[in-house]
């Protein structure tokens, strides 16, 4: 022993490594093969690389670096964009003034919260303005930032001018500002409520780009459901127009759920299995069938039951919209971690269905 150097003090991290090596050794002795973390390609005396498992099953794609702000931004943007459209149309068609005001305030709140969320997610928030040095039609992020800028300016201007008008009385400049702001919030609110679907659809993440043609419609309906829900909770639970819009959004979301569940393709697995599958289905149920049934049930019966059912439908749609956005982002992470997906030849869903049928018959 005397010719051995004395063991130096080991810190916590080194102890952890020693322990992990001991664990791996014990596992190998006990079972003859290893399945502990980072020796995943199991069943061999050494981890192997192969066409099936790729390079030791190390994910080829990088996961999105976005934090919690992004799904929340998707939710706020969707609801605010839909609220701006509802507010403007309600104003043009001469609906309840209070409804117009509330819709405007929701849009204005979104116009402040959305940029704050987007900026705080940046790696370098102080460089947000670098986004505004170019406009790139081929980059959904660039198009989205300019849409956000137009929407935020319009929605904030309309709400602010409306506030001043009510406080200090009408004047021409205020009227011009209010109307121009409202028109801008309508024009930009239409794409703003659903562009986030394009944003994640046009990426290299398999589960997202496989749904590139569905995501904007899905996110648009989700945003409409949430926008209508917030308006109803603010005291517009008797509006027939809102009822119709909420019902439409819920039915569309139900159909979207059927579409996701009805297709079988390995790219869609994160939406159906595991934790991300549970979140997706929870979000889908809360934004689709549950509010749809509640709203249909609220068409009949005494007034108190009606308003109670509509309140529950609104709450459900709002929660469903938020959970749906979280679910899609989470599914993207799961999809990026799956090393098998990008290594498979890209087959169309029709072809893979056909192959499945052939395999069943054989």
Partner 1 sequence: MSVTAFLTDSTLCIGCKACEVACKEWNGVSEDGLEWSGFSYDNTGAVGASTWRHVKFVEQPPVPGFGGNVGEQTSWTFSSDVCKHCEQAGCLEACPTGSIVRTEFGGVFIQPDVCNGCGYCVTACPFGVVERNQKDGRAFKCTFCYDRQKVGLQPACAKACPTESIKFGEIEGLRREAQGRVEELHRRGMDDAVIYDPLDSSVEGTHAFFIVRGDPRSYNLPPTPEVPTVYLKNSWRSSAIAAGLLLGGTLLAFLSDGTRQNGRGR
Among 38, 120, 171, 264, binds partner 1 (CB under 8 A): 38
User: Collapsing DSSP states into helix, strand and coil, what is residue 353?
Assistant: helix
Classify residue 21 by burial, with Cβ atoms within 10 Å: 0-12, 13-18, 19+. exposed
Sole window of 193-201, 254-262, 270-278, 315-323 interacting with partner 1 (rule: CB under 8 A): 193-201
Please identify, using beta-carbon distances, which residue of 72 and 199 lies nearer to partner 1: 199
Distance CA 202, CA 198 (A): 6
Restricting to residues 131-150, name those near partner 1 by CB under 8 A: 131, 133-134, 136, 138-142, 144-145
Among 19, 127, 305, 354, binds partner 1 (CB under 8 A): 127
Spell out, one character per residue from 100 to 119, where the chain touches partner 1: x when CB under 8 A holds, - when not.
--------------------
List all residues 6 or more positions away from 106 whose beta carbon is below 8 Å from its beta carbon: 79, 80, 83, 84, 87, 227, 230, 231, 234
Distance CA 332, CA 328 (A): 6
Query: Looking at 63-71, 257-265, 296-304, 313-321, which segment touches partner 1 (CB under 8 A)?
Result: 63-71
CA-based torsion, 54, 56, 60, 63: positive or negative? positive
Q: Least Å distance between CB 1 and partner 1?
A: 27
Q: Is 54 in the site for partner 1 (CB under 8 A)?
A: yes
**How many beta carbons lie within 10 A of that of residue 132, not counting itself?**
11
65 binds partner 1 (CB under 8 A): yes
Q: Is 159 in the site for partner 1 (CB under 8 A)?
A: no
Among 197, 284, 291, 320, binds partner 1 (CB under 8 A): 197
Phi, psi (deg, nearest 5) at residue 124: -130, 80
- Binding residue for partner 1, selected from 49, 116, 278, 351, defined by CB under 8 A: 49
List, as one string, the DSSP characters of 35-74: -STT--S-SSSS---BTTTBTTT--SSPPP---THHHHHH
Q: Can you read off the two tokens belonging to residue 247?
A: 């019902």
Q: Are 321 and 39 in contact (CB under 8 A)?
A: no
Single residue of 27, 42, 56, 311 touching partner 1 by CB under 8 A:
56
Site for partner 1 in 3-32 (CB under 8 A): 17, 21, 24
**Considering only residues 215, 318, 322, 334, which one is a binding residue for partner 1 as defined by CB under 8 A?**
215
Q: Supply the DSSP string of 240-270, one letter for each residue.
A: HHHHHHHHHHHHHHHHHHHHHHH---GGGGG
List 94, 169, 173, 262, residue binding partner 1 (CB under 8 A): 94
Identify the residue among 217, 234, 293, 296 touching partner 1 (CB under 8 A). 217
The residue with tokens 């926008």 is: 227
Nearest distance, CB of residue 45 and partner 1, angstroms: 9
Non-local CB neighbours of 182 within 8 Å, separated by 6+ positions = 87, 88, 91, 104, 154, 158
Residue number with CB closer to partner 1 (43 or 301) = 43
Tell me which residues in 278-337 interact with partner 1 (CB under 8 A).
Answer: 332
- Kindly tell me which of 1 and 350 has the beta carbon lying closer to partner 1: 350
Q: Does 220 bind partner 1 (CB under 8 A)?
A: yes
Q: How far is the CB of 108 from partner 1 (least distance, A)?
A: 18
What is the smallest separation between the CB atom of 210 and partner 1, expressed in angstroms?
9
User: Considering beta carbons, is residue 178 or 269 the nearer one to partner 1?
Assistant: 178
Tell me how many residues contact partner 1 (CB under 8 A).
97
72 part of the interface to partner 1, by CB under 8 A: no
Establish if 64 lies at the interface with partner 1 (CB under 8 A).
yes
306-338: string of b/e by CB count within 10 Å (b at 16+)?
beebbbbbbbbbbbbbbbbbbbbbbbbbbbbeb
Q: How far is the CB of 267 from partner 1 (least distance, A)?
A: 12
For residues 36 and 278, which CB has a smaller minimum distance to partner 1 in the complex?
Answer: 36
Helices (H), the chain: 12-31, 69-92, 97-121, 140-168, 172-192, 195-201, 206-209, 215-231, 240-262, 274-287, 289-297, 303-337, 349-361
């Amino acid at each position: 022993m005397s010719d051995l150097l004395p063991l130096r003090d080991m810190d916590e991290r080194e102890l952890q490594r020693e322990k992990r090596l001991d664990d791996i050794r014990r596992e190998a002795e006990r079972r003859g093969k290893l399945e502990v973390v980072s020796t995943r390609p199991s069943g061999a005396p050494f981890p192997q690389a192969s066409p099936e498992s790729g390079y030791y099953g190390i994910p080829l794609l990088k996961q999105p670096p976005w934090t919690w702000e992004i799904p929340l931004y998707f939710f706020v943007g969707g609801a605010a964009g839909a609220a701006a459209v509802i507010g403007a149309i309600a104003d043009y068609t001469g609906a309840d003034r209070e409804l117009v005001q509330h819709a405007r305030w929701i849009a204005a709140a979104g116009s402040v919260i959305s940029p704050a969320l987007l900026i705080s997610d940046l790696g370098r928030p102080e460089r947000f303005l670098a986004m505004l040095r170019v406009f790139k039609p081929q980059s959904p992020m660039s198009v989205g930032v300019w849409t956000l800028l137009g929407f935020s300016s319009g929605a904030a201007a309309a709400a602010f001018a409306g506030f001043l008008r009510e406080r200090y009385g009408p004047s021409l400049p205020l009227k011009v500002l209010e109307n121009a702001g409202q028109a801008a919030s309508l024009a930009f609110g239409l794409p703003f409520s659903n562009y986030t679907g394009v944003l994640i659809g046009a990426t290299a993440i398999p589960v997202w780009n496989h749904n590139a043609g569905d995501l904007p419609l899905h996110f648009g309906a989700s945003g409409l459901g949430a926008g209508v829900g917030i308006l109803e909770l603010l005291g517009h639970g008797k509006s027939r127009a809102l009822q119709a819009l909420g019902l439409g959004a819920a039915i569309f979301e139900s159909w979207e759920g059927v579409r996701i569940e009805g297709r079988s393709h390995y790219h869609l697995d994160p939406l159906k299995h595991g934790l991300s599958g549970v979140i997706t289905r929870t979000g889908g149920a809360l934004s689709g069938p549950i509010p749809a049934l509640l709203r249909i049930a609220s068409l009949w019966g005494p007034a108190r039951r009606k308003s109670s059912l509509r309140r529950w439908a609104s709450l459900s749609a709002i929660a469903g919209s938020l959970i749906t956005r979280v679910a899609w982002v989470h599914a993207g992470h799961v999809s990026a971690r799956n090393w098998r997906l990008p290594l498979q030849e890209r087959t169309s869903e029709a072809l893979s269905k056909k192959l499945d049928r052939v395999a069943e018959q054989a």
